[in-house]
Structure formats: structure tokens, C-alpha cells
Amino acid sequence: MPTLNWSSKTPPSSVPASLQTDSILFPQGKGYPHGKAENRLILGDNLNVMSALLEEYEGCINLIYADPPFFTNKRWKARVGRGEDSRRPEEWDTVEGYTDYWPNIETYLDMLFPRLALMHRLLHPEGTLYLHLDWHANHYARLLLDEIFGPDRLLNEIIWTYHGPSPIRSAFNRKHDTILSYTKSAEYTFNVDDVREPYNPNTVKTFQSSPKAGFGKVPDLERGKVPEDWWYFPVIARLHNERTGYPTQKPEALLERIILASSNPGDIVADFFCGSGTSVVMARKLGRRFIASDAQWRAIQATRNRLIQTPGIAISLEMESQARPPRGEADIRDLVTIQRDSAHPSISIAESLTEELDYWEIDPDWDGKIFHSAAQAARPLRKGKIASELNIPSLGGKIAIRFIKIDGEQSALYV
């Protein structure tokens, strides 16, 4: 079988790594989070994160969606703060999102190859990997996946098409991505009836007027058709209501189709390049468990903000050895009011602070080790302000409050 070779290629392997739990979160109003969380959100380089997960999850993950950097040689900016959703781009603040910059293709392949091999090890024997790329590197990736999974394990080469402006005048506009799906074995989950779509109205009309139109094959017009391997979904443009401001965010509808087709309720869906967390938000909505990781704190924070607005069970936030959120030094004690003894204990923050915050959360019984987040407020995705008051269960212990500013800095107050 032909394989792809490059000068620095080495056999893929795992690395020594460990994870630490930072916090456990129950979405607002669900009570105090006790015990282990079934959903995991992890900050860190995914080579280390996946290596650390092998012991518990080798052969266990039902579906992996991977949307890595595409080898675009760009530094992608994130748009943050108030006004991001406005029609006036001059009001946006931009900060570093993530870097997709490589000295050469060898360095890129050195990143991709061992990570795809780890995903293969983590997959359940009946699991599927969807790898999302575009013309920059999908041809290399296909050979890597043939080598890791076997060429006969290619399930689909999916083309996702979309519209959008483009400066290109010397070629056709490049308006599709390629998603390669590979299964770990010949036995795999594919829920065809969950992803059927209505037939084109012309097809329906033709068969209704002439049942013989299909040369003996009569489609089940009621049940709908199996989608082709080319999909149209609009991209997340500036005024799209799913938009978080995190760069290269993918549409929920795209992930919904992938998750419905290749996993079942209760299964584990993982995304180790999670960005703003589209896949895991959809996994949560569809009753799947999830594991998500990203090397950028901003991505983890964007994912958490979306997750707490989606009903579901507890989530743990973990960090790979050296990965930590940036620390802030804010002195905010005077801006916080605590109502501990009333019938409805609550904590409120000054209006001036709401302008600066992306997120804040409360542990009403701080044990000095793991933050048990019993109440959270996040900046709404589109319009409106972050909540300035949160109710807490009255546990009578030491209270810890954490604040994340729009620039990502985290600070804490203990009372």
C-alpha cells in the first residue's frame, strides 16, 4: 500500500501526561455538584490530553469529530467584547484566537499524524472519526488515515459547500470543505433513519404523477431520502445567531447530522480541537456524553459559555499539567454584595463590573481544592448583558467567586 513519507516522520506514540480537575460545574439551578462529572472539558495540547485519557478510554469513544488547523498559514483572530454582534466592525475588539502557521508541510504533518493515531486508539471498535479539512491538506490527511485505519475503512468523503464573499479573481471561489470519515471496523454505527431528508419537490411531483419514473424503483416519499455526500449549510457569518466570535466556528446543523448518523444517545462524542465547542454543544443537546479539549484558554472559555446555556448534566473542567488560564489581579471585593442569611441567598456584582466580564461563577462551599460551581452567569452570545445577580444554595461554608474578564483573565474572591 502506498504511504505518505516525509523527512521527520516517526512512528506515532503517546507521551507521558496527566490531567488535573480544576472545577465541576452543574448548570445554574441544578443544585450543588457532588461526585464525578460524566462530561469533560480539558485545557491543553491534545497530544498530552489524549495520551492521558488512554488509560480510561482506549477503545471507548464512539464518535470523534476533528476540526484541526487546516494548514492555511494564518493567525486567526477572535472577536470579543461588546459590539461583536453589531453591524459596525470598527466596534469589535480582536485578540489572538489560534495560530495555523507552519514553517513547512513537514511540521504540520508532524502535528497531525500522531494525533490521528491516538484518535484511532481511543475509538470504540464500532466508532467513527470525522476529520474536517479543506484543499490545503486533505490530500495528505487521506493518506495518513489510510495508513492508520486501512484504506477500506473510508466511509465517506463528504463535501460541505457554502457561500460567502471572496477576494479571488484568478480562479473559481473556493467554497467547500472536505470531511473524511473513517470507521474503526466493518461493524459501525450509522443511523440512516435519523438523517433522512425530504425529497426535492420536483422528485415528489414526478413520482406522484408517474410511479414508473424510477424504472421499477419507487422511493418512499414519506420517509425521505438518504442525504448525498455533499451537504449545503450556511457558514457562521457576522450576523448569524450561533456566532461566538471564536474564529472558524462551524454550524450546529453540520454537527447535528454527523452526531445523529454516527452515535446513539448516551454514547461518548469527543472533539480534541473543540474551538468554540460546536460539536459538544450539539452532543449535549442530543443526549450524548462528551469530552472536549483545546490548547487555547479562549476556546475552552467560549465552549463553557455555550455549554452552560444548554441544559444537561455535570461537566468537569480539567487542565493538562502545565496549562493554566491567565491570572488577573483585579481587586473587586468592594464591587460584590453577598446576601448570605436571607431566605434566598444570593450574590450580586456592581453594574460597572458587568461591562468587563465574560463569565462569573460561585462555589458556596469552597473546599480549597476543586471549585464546585453551583451558579454561573455568562455573557449572552448576541445582545444583552451578563446577569449581575446569582442565587446560591445556602451551605454556610466559605464562598469562592471566580471572574473571567472579556480578555480571558481569571481572578477569584474568597469570603
Ligand X SMILES: C[S@@+](CC[C@H](N)C(=O)[O-])C[C@H]1O[C@@H](n2cnc3c(N)ncnc32)[C@H](O)[C@@H]1O
Please report, as ranges, the residues that interact with ligand X according to CB under 6 A.
45-46, 67-69, 98, 246, 248-250, 273, 275-276, 278, 293-296, 299
Task: Please state whether 188 falls in left (phi above 0), alpha (psi between -120 and 50) or beta.
Answer: beta
Cβ closest to ligand X, residue 159 vs residue 395: 159
- The minimum distance between CB 294 and ligand X, in angstroms, equals 4
Q: Which helix (H) or strand (E) holds 204?
A: helix 201-209
CB of 18 to ligand X, least distance (A): 16
Report, in Å, the least distance between residue 299 CB and ligand X. 4
Residues near 215 by Cβ (< 8 Å), separated by ≥ 6? none
Residue 354 identity (one-letter amino acid): T
Q: Which is nearer to ligand X, 101 or 207 (CB)?
A: 101
CB of 97 vs ligand X, minimal distance in Å: 7
Q: How far is the CB of 247 from ligand X (least distance, A)?
A: 7
Scanning the structure block, which residue is given the C-alpha cell 471507548? 60
Closer residue to ligand X (CB): 224 or 251 = 251
Smallest distance, ligand X to C-beta of residue 15, A: 12
Complex with ligand X: residue 140 or 246, whichever CB lies closer: 246
Q: Which residue is nearest to ligand X (CB)?
A: 275
Using only C-alpha atoms, the chain has a radius of gyration, in whole angstroms, of 23
Between 70 and 360, CB nearer to ligand X: 70
Measured distance CA(291)–CA(170) in Å, rounded: 42
Q: How far is the CB of 265 from ligand X (least distance, A)?
A: 22
CA–CA separation, 112 and 69 (whole Å): 9
Residue with the three cell numbers 499539567: 321
CA angle (385 as vertex; 375, 241 as ends), nearest 5: 100
In angstroms, the CA 350 to CA 334 distance is 9
Question: Which three three-digit cell numbers place residue 352?
Answer: 460597572
Distances 75 to 78, 193, 219, 247, 395 between C-alpha atoms, Å: 10, 40, 48, 10, 46
The smaller minimum CB distance to ligand X, of residues 45 and 256, is found at 45
Give the nearer residue to ligand X in terms of CB position, either 115 or 372. 115
Our CB check for ligand X shows the closer of 262 and 296 to be 296
In this structure, are residues 261 and 255 in contact, taking their beta carbons and an 8 Å threshold? no
- Beta partners for residue 356, in sequence order: none
> What's the distance, Cα to Cα, between the start and end of the chain in Å?
64
Q: Smallest distance from the beta carbon of 76 to ligand X, in angstroms?
A: 8
| Among the listed residues 228, 414, 316, 403, the one whose alpha carbon sits nearest the alpha carbon of residue 21 | 316
